[in-house]
Structure 1
Amino acid sequence: MTAQARVAAIDCGTNSIRLLIASRGADGSLIDHDRRLELVRLGEGVDATGRFSPAALERTFAACDQYAAVIRELGAGRIRFVATSAARDVSNRDEFTAGVRARLGIDPEVIPGAEEAALSFAGAMAGVEVSDEPAMVIDCGGGSTELVLGRSGADGPVIEAADSLNVGSVRLRERFLHDDPPTAGQIRAARELVRQMLDGSAVDVSRAATVIGVAGTLTSLSAIHQGLKVYDREKVHASRLTTDEIHRVAEVLLASTVDQAEAMGPLQRRRAEVICAGGLIVEEIAARMGADEIIISESDILDGIAAGMLDD
C-alpha cells in the first residue's frame, strides 16, 4: 500500500459509530482526512432483550449510509468495520451484518475483547508521549470497558495484561441508574458491580505508572472539567485529569439530571443520558490507580485500526 493510499476505519460500539479516513505521511505519521462520530445507541436495550431493536438498527444503518458517501467521496480504497461489545451479545447479529454489507460492501467484524483492547492500546500509545511505564489504557465504552497494561517495544507496544469488563456507560445506566438523577441506592448497586469486576480483573490497575484514557466517556469528562461549550479536539487531546478532579466531576454528574449534564458541556443528548454511569466507572478505576492522573488521548482504537490496514 502506497504512502498516499487512503483507508477507512469504522468503530461501531454500543453508543457510537465512528469513522476515520486516513493515510500515511512521508514521515510515517497518520494523516486524518476525515474523522466523525454519530451517537446511534446501537446497544439500546440489548442488556435486557439480547437483541438489537429495529429503531437502533435504523439509526445505525442511516449512519452507515452517510459514511459510505464520505468514503466514496474521499476515495478510501479499503474499509474495515469493527463492531465491539453490543454486537457480541445479540441473537439477531445476522440482521446487523446484512444491513452493513448492503451499505458498505463489507461484513462487520465482531472482534473479541482482547483484540479491542490491543487496538485501543496501540492507538493510544501512538497518540501521547509516555515517560513512565508500564502504561495502562482505559477505554470506557457503552457496553464494555477495556483495560490494557503494557510497555513500548522495539516492534510496537507489548501488552502485559488486558481485560474487557462487561460493563460500560449504557449497560450500567440501563441496569441500575434508572432515575434522573439516580438515587443513592441505585448508585451503591452500580458501584458494587463495578468494584466486583475490578476485583476479578486480570489487570492490576495499581501497577500503572502512566494512565491514558481514550474514547467518548473520557474525552467528555475532560471537556466538562475544562468548561468547554464547543468541543475542541486540540484542547481535549493530551489534557490531564487528576484523581481528585475525576471524583469531583463524577459526583456532580451522578447528582445531576440528564438536562443538567447536557448543559455542562458539548455533549450530545445520547452521551448526556449515560455520562453519569461512565463517570462512575472511571471514578472507581481512578481510585485504584498507581498513577495520580489520567492523560486524555484523542488517538484510540480508530487510529489502531487504520494504522493496521496501512501497515498491512
Structure 2
Amino acid sequence: MSNSVIVAGIDCGTNSIRLKIARVDEQDMTDIVPKVLRVVRLGESVDATGRFADGALARVHAAAEEFAQILSEYNVQALRFVATSATRDAENRVVFEDDMEHLLGVRPEVISGLEEARLSYMGAISAFGRDQIQYPALIMDLGGGSTELVLGGDGVDTAVDQVQASYSMNVGSVRMTERHHLYDQPDDASVEAAIADIDEYLDVACAHIPIEQTRTFVGVSGTVTTMAALALNLPEYDASRVDGIRLPFAQVEQVDTKFLHMSREQRRVYKAIHPGRVDVVGGGALVLNRVIARVQERVVASGGELNELLISEHGLLDGIVLDLGRRMLRRV
C-alpha cells in the first residue's frame, strides 16, 4: 500500500474563506471533508481604505472558529493557511494574522500572485485526465480582489503540469464592484470605466503571457462557477452539474451581461447565486467577459480557434492541499 498523509488547506481570499481536508498519496487526492465555504468579505473597502474593516475581521473570526472545530474532529497531520489579494493590500493585516494563528495554530501565509497562480494551476489540472484537455491550458482564477492567468506547458518544451507563464491582475469581483459602483443596474459610464480599467490590466497580462498559445481555457472560482450555473438555468447551485462542463463563449457572455445590468433585488431571485455574492457577481461577470474576449481575440489573431470555457470546481484550495501533501510525502 502506498504512503499517504491527511492534510488540510485554508484559502482566505477577498470574498470568501474555504477549508478542505483530504488524504493525499503519490497518485491522487481523496476528499475527507470536501470544500467548506463561508462568505466573509474580508476585503470589504480594502481597495479604498487600505485596511481591514472591523466587521470583516469579526466575520472571518467566526468562520475560523467553525473551521477549528471541524479540524479538531480529524487526524490532520498538517495545515497550510494561505491568504491572498486582500491581505496583501491591508496595512493592518497583522491583526488578522495574529487572530488566525491564535484560533488555528498556524499563521496565514500571505502568498504572492505568482505562488497563487502556481497553486491554482496545480489544483485545476489535477481534476482532469490527459484526454480532457488540449495543452497548453490557460487557467483563469477570478477572485474577489485579483485574477490570476496561468498558462501551462505544451508537453514538448515544458511539461503540461508546469507553469510556463503567469500574471496576477488586481482585478476581481469585489474590487471592480466597489471601485466602479457596479452594485445595482450600473450606468453606461460606470461600466465603460470598469472596462477600461480591466482592459488596461489585460494589456499588461498579455505582455507577460503568450495567451495566443491557449488550446484549452479553464475557468475556476466562485464567479465562474456561479455564472456557469446561471447559464445552465439551474434552480439552485449544484457543483456536480457545473464541474467539468464546457460552455460556448457566447452563452457565458450573454448571461454575464444580463446579470451585470440587474439590480441586487433582481439577482436575489436566483438561488444559484450565493447570498454573499449577490452584490458583486455583476462586477465579476464583467471581468469574466473581458478576459474571455481578450483570450479569444489573441488566439484567433494567431490563426487558432477557441470558442468555449471549461468550468472547474477545482483550483487554488485543491492546489494548496495537493502541494502540501506531496511535499510531506517527499519527506517520508
* TM category, shorter: over 0.9
**Match for residue 213 of structure 1?**
219
Tell me the alpha carbon deviations over residues 140-164 of structure 1, each in whole angstroms, 9 at most, x when there is no partner: 0000000001126597612111000
Structure-2 separation of matches of 1:123 and 1:246: 23
Partner of 2:59: 59
Q: Does structure 2 conserve the Cα–Cα contact (< 8 Å) formed by 1:177 and 1:190?
A: no
Q: CA deviation at 1:263?
A: 1.9
Distance in 2 of aligned mates of 1:204 and 1:272: 34
**In structure 2, how many angstroms separate the alpha carbons of the residues matched to 1:267 and 1:76?**
32
Further displaced range: 137-146 or 240-249: 240-249
- Hey, what does 1:262 align to over in structure 2? 268
Unaligned runs of 5+ in 2: 300-305, 328-332
In structure 1, give the amino acid aligned to 2:47: D
Query: Cα RMSD between the aligned structures?
Result: 1.6
The equivalent residue for 2:303 is none
2:123 and 2:154 mapped to 1: Cα distance? 12
* Aligned residue in 2 for 1:296: 311
What is the match of residue 153 of structure 2?
151
Give the structure 2 partner of residue 126 of structure 1.
126
- Asked if 1:164 is matched to 2:201, the reply is no
Deviation per CA, 1:19-70, whole angstroms, max 9, x where unpaired? Answer: 0000026x72211111210000000000010000110000001100000110
Q: Relative to 1, partners in 2 of residues 1:65 and 1:307: Cα closer, same or farther, differing over 3 Å?
A: same
Say if 2:182 and 2:280, in contact at 8 Å, map to a contact too.
no
Q: TM-score if structure 2 supplies the norm length?
A: 0.89
1:285 aligned onto 2:291: yes
2:140 equivalent in structure 1: 138
1:113 maps to 2:113: yes
Of 165, 179, 184, the residue aligned with 1:180 is 184
Q: Match for 2:171: what amino acid? A: V
Instruction: Tell me the equivalent position of 1:48.
Output: 48
1:237 equivalent to 2:237? Answer no
Shift in alpha-carbon separation, 1:15–1:59, aligned structure 2, 3 A: same
Query: 1:281 is paired with a residue of what secondary structure?
Result: helix
Between the aligned partners of 2:121 and 2:154, the Cα distance in structure 1 is 10
Residues 250-309 of structure 1, C-alpha deviations (whole Å, 9 max, x = no match): 110111111222322422222111111111111011112232111011111111111111
Q: Which amino acid aligns with 1:36?
A: V
- 1:200 match: secondary structure: helix
**Residue 196 (structure 2) pairs with residue 192 (structure 1):** yes
Which runs of at least 4 in structure 1 moved beyond 4 Å after TM superposition? 152-156
Cα pair distance change 1:105/1:152, threshold 3 Å: farther
**Distance in 1 (alpha carbons) for counterparts of 2:128 and 2:248:** 17
Q: How does 1:53-92 map to 2 (within 5 A)?
A: 53-92=53-92
Cα distance in 1 for residues equivalent to 2:153 and 2:125: 9
- Given that 1:123 and 1:303 are in contact with CA atoms closer than 8 Å, whether structure 2 keeps it comes out as yes
How far is 1:3 from its partner? 4.1
**Greater displacement, 38-47 / 202-211:** 202-211
Q: Which amino acid aligns with 1:222?
A: A
After superposition, the C-alpha distances for 1:203-222 in whole angstroms (9 at most, x for unaligned) are 24333110011110111011
Please say if residues 217 and 278 of structure 1, whose CA atoms lie closer than 8 Å, have aligned partners that are also in contact.
yes
Is 1:223–1:265's contact at 8 Å kept on the other side of the alignment?
no
The separation in 2 between residues aligned to 1:3 and 1:15, in whole angstroms, is: 36
Kindly tell me the number of residue pairs found equivalent between the two proteins.
310
Please report how far the alpha carbon of residue 128 of structure 1 lies from its aligned counterpart in structure 2 after TM superposition.
2.1
Q: How far 1:178 sits from its partner (Å)?
A: 4.5
* Percent of aligned pairs sharing the same letter: 39
Query: Where do 5+ consecutive residues of structure 1 fail to align?
Result: none
